């Protein structure tokens, strides 16, 4: 079969991106400007950024053992290839919170993207729109909610105008770019409600509350640099959501003028933990604002907490240890995924996060029961190289990697065929420690 003339399926033929790169190299002498091999990508990112920018996304808690545990957990699970399977048409598409999306990948919420590109969150929001993949906006963003929504829609429209609609259209909208709002909840309920109302009005139709980061973890590489951008001149980067919020500015605007850390220290990483008792109130408020759209808790690492989230009314959870940035010496997220899936996988949506680097990583997380995964550091590393082009290249490469993995491993459907039978656990396998084994 001519690989450029494959039968159409539910998903784009992402694998053709590989052939596009090969053809450009052979016919035009045009090569990618940077490597997408995760180890090489992170090393080249160090050379593109100053230390503060690099370590903001790459610092780990303590000795980095949890970050290592994330990668080791992936290494322990091995894919079982199946032969002579018709994989000419693959279906990577999934349904997530009422959206039909072409692949089980979300752009994870990462704050202060202006550290990596002058356009900040507008870059990944636009690329997510182009690809029809959900974009999650962080409360610690360096662009306003409203501007990010416009960028996300512009990406979706640019593809739609070329006949590339792959994602279910949001109700009441003429675009196809699902977007979720990640909330860091402070202790001023008026500000919380204002943020949620702005997010809903701007088309963010899922609320994702982060519960593992009331306080930043102890990250020595950040300590060494006093790496807290909010305190450095001009003192505006990272304050954009607060400075654009009418309720926050009415109540705290004068304080923000005197203390550039007022927004982040009181409404984002404030150090004052909430408890399960507060969550029903927040779910009720989000239901009132959104008319009953899904509420998700991000930061679950145990079956017990997953069951609590279900019992109080969450429609989904994100199984994550914040990429190893909060608790040193903790379990790897993939280690606990199977038991969480066994507890609630048939009751709510499970999004996996922490340690995703390749298409086979995504395959393994889905096989173990996740409905979708979040990808964060990869797209940040890409945009640090070439802005939109770099972010696009990394994410299209990841999609191609997943598509090709399913092709050559013999699994045509991500939802029908990819399950625990596709994996074998290797209890005694030693994690590689040599070249290309850092991540």
Cα angle, residue 365 at apex, residues 364 and 367 outer, rounded to 5°: 60
111 is in an annotated binding site: yes
Beta bridge partners of 30: none
For residue 77, the SS3 value is strand
25 is in an annotated binding site: no
For residue 135, the SS3 value is strand
Burial class (CB in 10 A: 0-12, 13-18, 19+), 274: middle
353 is in an annotated binding site: yes
Q: Is 371 a catalytic residue?
A: no
Catalytic residue among 13, 99, 322, 385: 322
213: tokens are 């980061």
219 is in an annotated binding site: yes
- 192 and 185 Cβ atoms separated by less than 8 Å: yes
Cα angle, residue 400 at apex, residues 395 and 406 outer, rounded to 5°: 130
- 2 and 13 Cβ atoms separated by less than 8 Å: no
32: tokens are 């990618």
258 is in an annotated binding site: no
Cα angle, residue 350 at apex, residues 298 and 313 outer, rounded to 5°: 70
377 is in an annotated binding site: yes
374 is in an annotated binding site: no
Q: Which residue has tokens 């349904």?
A: 95
182 is in an annotated binding site: yes
For residue 321, the SS3 value is coil
| Cα dihedral 322, 328, 330, 332 sign | positive
- CB crowding 314-341: b at 16 or more within 10 Å, else e: bbbbbbbbbbbbbbbebebbbbbbbebb
- 113 and 380 Cβ atoms separated by less than 8 Å: yes
- 11 and 92 Cβ atoms separated by less than 8 Å: yes
356 is in an annotated binding site: yes
Give the whole-angstrom CA distance, residue 354 versus residue 47. Answer: 24
329: tokens are 């010496």
Give the whole-angstrom CA distance, residue 56 versus residue 61. Answer: 12
184 is in an annotated binding site: yes
Cβ within 8 Å of residue 236, ≥6 positions away? 243, 260
262: tokens are 């007022």
Give the whole-angstrom CA distance, residue 117 versus residue 124. Answer: 10
- Rounded to 10 deg, the angle between the 38-48 and 51-58 helix axes is 150
357 is in an annotated binding site: yes
Annotated binding-site ranges = 56, 109-111, 138, 182, 184, 210, 219, 298, 322, 325, 353-357, 376-377
Annotated binding-site ranges for FMN = 109-111, 138, 182, 210, 298, 353-357, 376-377
What are the catalytic residues?
322
Annotated binding-site ranges for glyoxylate = 56, 184, 219, 322, 325
């Amino acid at each position: 079969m001519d690989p450029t003339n494959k039968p159409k399926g539910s998903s784009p033929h992402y694998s053709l991106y590989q052939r596009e790169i090969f053809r450009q190299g052979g016919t035009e002498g045009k090569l990618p400007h940077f490597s997408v091999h995760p180890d090489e990508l992170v090393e080249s990112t160090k050379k593109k950024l100053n230390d503060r920018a690099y370590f903001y996304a790459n610092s780990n808690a303590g000795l980095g053992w949890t970050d290592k545990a994330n990668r080791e957990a992936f290494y322990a699970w091995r894919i079982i290839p199946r032969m002579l399977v018709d994989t000419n048409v693959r279906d990577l598409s999934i349904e997530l919170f009422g959206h039909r999306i072409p692949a089980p990948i979300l752009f994870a919420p990462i704050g202060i993207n202006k550290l990596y590109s002058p356009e900040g969150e507008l870059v990944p929001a636009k690329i997510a729109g182009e690809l029809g993949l959900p974009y999650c906006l962080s409360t610690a963003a360096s662009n306003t909610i409203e501007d990010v929504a416009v960028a996300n829609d512009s990406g979706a429209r640019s593809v739609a105008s070329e006949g590339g609609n792959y994602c279910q259209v949001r109700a009441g909208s003429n675009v196809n770019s699902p977007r979720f709002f990640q909330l860091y909840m402070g202790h001023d309920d008026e500000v919380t409600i204002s943020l949620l109302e702005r997010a809903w009005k701007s088309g963010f139709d899922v609320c994702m509350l982060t519960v593992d980061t009331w306080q930043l973890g102890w990250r020595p590489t950040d300590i060494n640099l006093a790496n807290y951008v909010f305190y450095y001149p001009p003192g505006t980067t990272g304050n954009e959501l607060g400075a654009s919020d009418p309720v926050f500015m009415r109540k705290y605007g004068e304080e923000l003028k005197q203390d550039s850390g007022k927004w982040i220290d009181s409404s984002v990483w404030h150090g004052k933990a909430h408890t399960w008792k507060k969550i029903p109130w927040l779910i009720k408020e989000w239901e009132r604002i959104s008319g009953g759209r899904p509420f998700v808790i991000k930061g679950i690492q145990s079956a017990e907490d997953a069951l609590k989230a279900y019992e109080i009314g969450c429609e989904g959870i994100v199984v994550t240890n914040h990429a190893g940035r909060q608790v040193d010496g903790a379990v790897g997220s993939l280690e606990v995924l199977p038991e969480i899936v066994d507890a609630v996988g048939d009751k709510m949506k499970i999004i996996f996060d922490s340690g995703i680097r390749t298409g086979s990583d995504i395959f393994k997380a889905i096989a173990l029961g996740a409905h979708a995964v979040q990808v964060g550091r990869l797209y940040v590393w890409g945009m640090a190289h070439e802005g939109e082009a770099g972010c696009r290249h990394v994410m299209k490469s990841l999609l191609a990697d997943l598509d090709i993995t399913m092709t050559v491993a013999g699994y045509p459907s991500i939802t029908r065929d990819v399950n625990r039978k596709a994996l074998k656990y290797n209890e005694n396998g030693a994690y590689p420690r040599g070249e290309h084994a850092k991540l």
